[in-house]
Amino acid sequence: MLNAAIFGLGNWGQTLVRSVHQKSDKIKITQLVTRDPSKYSDFVDNTGIPISNDYAEVLKRDDIEAIVIATGHSVHGKHVEQAAAAGKHVFCEKPFTLTKESALSAIDACNKAGVKLSIAFNRRFNPALAKIRNMIETGELGTVLHVEGAHSGHAGYDQREGWRSTREENPAGVMCGKGMHVLDLMLMAAGHVKTLNAFSETRILDTNRDDCTSLNMRFRNGATGTLSCIAVTANYWRFHVAGSEGWAEMRGENTLATCKLRQQPEITEFADFDIERAELDGFADYVKNDTPYPVPLEDVVHGVELLEATVVSAERKQMITFE
């Protein structure tokens, strides 16, 4: 059992705790950390987990082996480096950081400290996605030609206050909260990006945060890709891979459509699956057993680089080329 503390108890931090609390036999959240514990008395009563507002003191404890970081995007890097300096393994929510420079610095801190680092791209644990990945890796889809996806919803209407409502914490609209998930799957399917052209603007909301963002990409292997994430529409999730021998598409979290060349499409429905518990269990397996975690840090850093480039491309209205 991996004993961990979690730093950050917003809605998503609480979701992570609930996913493993009294359920997992691999990881146990034994300490909650937040700036204002008074806001979470009901959550403490319901879970029985002690709470603190002193991250530095929690990091000194020998009984805490790992830190789960679910704080604001802009402080992820700092909190990772502090945990690494204390000798704690780290599980960090996405986006890992908001700049490539800070991402590399945090990874370097973990490497120097000899601690393990995992980033929370939970869709890589989705059974339907695992099937797509297998189809790509075994050549069942042939050469990957194009990837596309969308992750949209009504977050723009709901998140009017707090750090999630600001451009500083959420550059390029809901790319941080939603689009990064699909972008990560695109990197898994097609590799790294050569060129990117992005559009990001505010069309509906009376705010300085973008609500409509789209990316057009060319990958180093020649594949193309498109991604949209809209903050002011009904919930929508899709990920599609087109290959020279067929295609595969996730339609929501549980539905997988596939079609081989010159055949009829097939639909597979998957049972509900707790991808948050799966990613935390995967992190524990990585720490305790050295079981590979399915999100390469090279992809994580490149994803941050693409997030930065999305902002630049949209502001300058120009294509960005990567080395």
pTM across the whole model? 0.95
Q: How far is CA 141 from the centre of its chain?
A: 25
Among residues 57, 91, 120, the one where a domain terminates is 120
Q: Please say which residue of 103, 120, 137 terminates a domain.
A: 120
Q: What is the CATH number of the domain that holds 242?
A: 3.30.360.10
- In a shared domain, residues 282 and 212: yes
Comparing 107-116, 207-216, 246-255, 304-313, which segment has the lowest mean pLDDT? 207-216
Do 205 and 306 belong to one domain?
yes
Report the pLDDT averaged over residues 280-304. 98
Amino acid at 137: E
Q: Which amino acid is at 14?
A: Q
Flag the least confident range among 14-23, 62-71, 171-180, 188-197: 171-180
- 212, 223: one domain: yes
Q: What is the pLDDT of residues 260-272, one digit of tens each?
A: 999 999 999 999 9
Query: How confident is the model over 209-217, as a mean pLDDT?
Result: 95
Q: Which domain holds residue 95?
A: 2-120
pLDDT of residue 164: 65
Is residue 95 reached through a cis peptide bond, with omega within 30 degrees of 0 on the bond before it?
Answer: yes
Q: What is the mean pLDDT of the chain?
A: 96
83 and 96 in a single domain? The answer is yes
pLDDT digits (tens, 9 = 90+) for 15-60: 999 999 999 999 999 999 999 999 999 999 999 999 999 999 999 9
The pair of three-digit structure tokens given for residue 180, joined into one six-digit string: 């990064």
Give the burial string for 39-66 (b: 16+ CB within 10 Å, else e): ebeebeeebebebeeebeebbeeeebbb
Mean per-residue pLDDT, 136-144: 98
Instruction: Give the C-alpha distances (Å, rounded to integers) separating 84 from 58, 80, 90, 114, 197.
Output: 13, 6, 7, 8, 36
Residue 23 shares a structural domain with residue 140: no
Spatial separation of the C-alpha atoms in residues 322 and 302, rounded to whole Å = 10
Residues 13 and 102 in one domain: yes
Contacts of 101 (CB under 8 A, 6+ apart): none
Residue 286 has pLDDT above 80, yes or no: yes
Encode pLDDT of 79-101 as tens digits: 999 999 999 999 999 999 999 99
27 and 153: one domain?
Answer: no
| Residue 150 φ/ψ, nearest 5 degrees | -150, 140
- Pick from 148, 177, 172: which is nearest to 235 by CA? 177
* Bridge partners of residue 249, in order along the sequence: 240, 257
Query: Are 183 and 276 in a shared domain?
Result: yes
- Which of 120, 152, 180 is the endpoint of a domain? 120
Average pLDDT over residues 273-278: 98
Report pLDDT for 220. 98
**Does 292 or 157 have the greater pLDDT score?**
292
> How many domains does the chain divide into?
2
Same domain, 202 and 285: yes
CATH number at residue 12: 3.40.50.720
Whether residue 158 sits in one domain with residue 35: no
Residue 231: its pLDDT value, please?
Answer: 94
4 membership: H or E segment, kind and range: strand 2-7
Over residues 165-184, mean pLDDT: 88
High-pLDDT (> 90) share of the chain, %: 92
What value does the mean pLDDT take over residues 97-106? 98
Residues of the chain by 3-state class (helix, strand, coil), percent to 5? 40, 25, 35
pLDDT tens digits for 153-172?
Answer: 998 888 767 766 676 788 89
How far apart CA 135 and CA 249 sit, in angstroms, is: 11
Q: Give yes or no: residues 127 and 249 share one domain.
A: yes
Burial 176-213 (b: 16+ CB within 10 A, else e): bbbbbbbbbbbbbbbbbbbbbbbbbebeebeeebbbbb
Both 166 and 101 in one domain: the answer is no
